Structure 1
Amino acid sequence: MSTSTDRVQVRDREESRWITLDNPSARNAYDEHMAAAVAEALDSCNDVRSVVITGAPGAFCAGGMLAGMSTPTTRGMRHLYRASLRMFDAVRSCPRPVIAAVNGAAAGGGNELVVACDLAVAAASATFGQTGPRVGSAPVTGATNVMGVQIGEKRAKELAMLCRRYDAAAAERIGLVNRVVPDDRLDDEVMAWCRELANLSPRYLEITKVSSNIWWNAARDSFANGVGMLVQAIGSDDMREGANAFLAKRPPKFALDDGEFADDGDFGP
């Protein structure tokens, strides 16, 4: 299988399907159409034994596109949030093991994509981190919940709140990735993992994967509520300032909000 749709490349290598985010001018950040294309590719992987998600040369994935956040519309941002969540859910519901081949920066939603994948192999030059509070958003679809199960709550909050960057060695040390290899060995290492998976029972690998989704499934309501809260914050001063500062490559200047938060109990996406 080999297809190209909405800046997403899909091709088969032996018995694995490789899905490549192909938007290098934006460091492989995704919009709603790219996220939907990845989800659709993941939904039709019964004919292979494993799946690999990677980025075009230059980055793994910089998360969701920020350009629209400087002049946001409720419709546009709602669609992006929903498409992002659908993509992560598709990783978890794919019947085959999904490996993140992290070939560069995994930031924001890109780091959450690593969290969603079953396994992760990183190039030595890869970096990891969340961006939400720095750019006027929040990482509610993995980093504030499931990542805590993977690497520990305090460490996950450090990533989610402080928006620091971590090199591949640190990511391996805290358990965010399984293995780090030299950059020129990444594809070969991932293919070795794919061949190892190809020798195992696909039926029982699927059972193992479905069973391991217990924490993801338990957090699913939190994802939906988080997306709903992000929708309520569309167009906020913090969203505009964070996006404009990022695009202008300057530090953001967020004002202290001393107003009360109006909780009307309706945070559904």
Structure 2
Amino acid sequence: MADILTERKGDTLWIRLNRPERRNAFDPAMSGAITEALQDAASMRTVVITGSDGSFCAGGSLQQLGTPTTGEMRGLYQSSLQMLDAIRTCPRPVIAAVNGAAAGGGNELVMACDLAIAARSATFGQTGPKVGSAPVTGATNVLGVQIGEKRAKEMAMLCRRYSAEQAEDIGLINEVVEDDQLVDSVTAWCDELAMLSPRYLEITKISSNIWWNSARDSFSSGLGMLVQAVGSADMVEGATAFLEKRRPGFPEPE
């Protein structure tokens, strides 16, 4: 099975995450495929990222986190950051068409996109401290610029789930539409963007990266701390509990 499916619809490149058996969670292979597709998108007017089979993206794959190795986790973290950077540096506007749950790194994927339109059934939220991780590639830094520091800390620390309407109210996404109208609505946004100057849209987009670029050192240091925590009791318990679909029992603070 291909990790992603790409389709050119007029002047728009649609990238569909295609691992429904794990709710489209990304591993290094999928992150690499998305990065490569974005690097080939300069000839298009817009790019859309969406998911398959009613899920948007469940974040980074947790399948190996019960028995992690430093090399595996470093590869997952680095490839994830490269994917998010590819979204921010793609010269064309990137729209998240959120057709289901955007959780953990999937929520950060929405944050990295320039625009986001969600189906009414979509949900949003971070999962890091709940599964033995931390959302250091956006939700602990850039998210505060997007929705305010207190709301961002609420989302990153408490790991609550938010409806599409709540996500729109706090400024995480641009619009909520009925599920069966998502593709048409996203296409309408793409058509509107296609009427504008691609040169000046690119200038607008890249110059808007000031906060992302300012947080870039925080991303790297945060990922470095996550690598140092590989194999910790908190990581193993969080991932194991998630895979076993039970409530985690984390160790007492030291």
| TM-score bracket for this pair, using the shorter chain length | over 0.9
AA in 1 matched with 2:214: A
- Give yes or no for contact 1:42–1:90 (8 Å, CA) kept in 2: yes
CA deviation after TM superposition for structure 1 residue 11, in Å: 0.8
The CA distance in 1 between the partners of 2:71 and 2:4, in whole Å, is: 23
The CA distance in 2 between the partners of 1:158 and 1:190, in whole Å, is: 29
Q: Deviations over 1:100-124 (max 9, x none)?
A: 0000000000000000000000000
Q: Deviations over 1:190-236 (max 9, x none)?
A: 00000000000000000000110000000000000000000000000
AA in 2 matched with 1:155: R
CA deviation after TM superposition for structure 1 residue 6, in Å: 4.1
Counterparts of 1:1-269 in structure 2, within 5 Å, are: 6-258=2-254
Gaps of 5+ in 1: 259-269
RMSD: 0.7
Q: Deviations over 1:129-185 (max 9, x none)?
A: 000000000000000000110000000000000000000000000000000000000
The CA distance in 2 between the partners of 1:99 and 1:122, in whole Å, is: 10
- Give yes or no for contact 1:62–1:108 (8 Å, CA) kept in 2: yes
AA in 1 matched with 2:170: I
Q: TM-score, normalization: structure 1?
A: 0.94
The CA distance in 1 between the partners of 2:72 and 2:23, in whole Å, is: 21
The CA distance in 2 between the partners of 1:166 and 1:257, in whole Å, is: 28
The CA distance in 2 between the partners of 1:175 and 1:139, in whole Å, is: 19
- Give yes or no for contact 1:9–1:20 (8 Å, CA) kept in 2: yes
Tell me the matched-pair count. 254
Percent identity over paired residues? 67
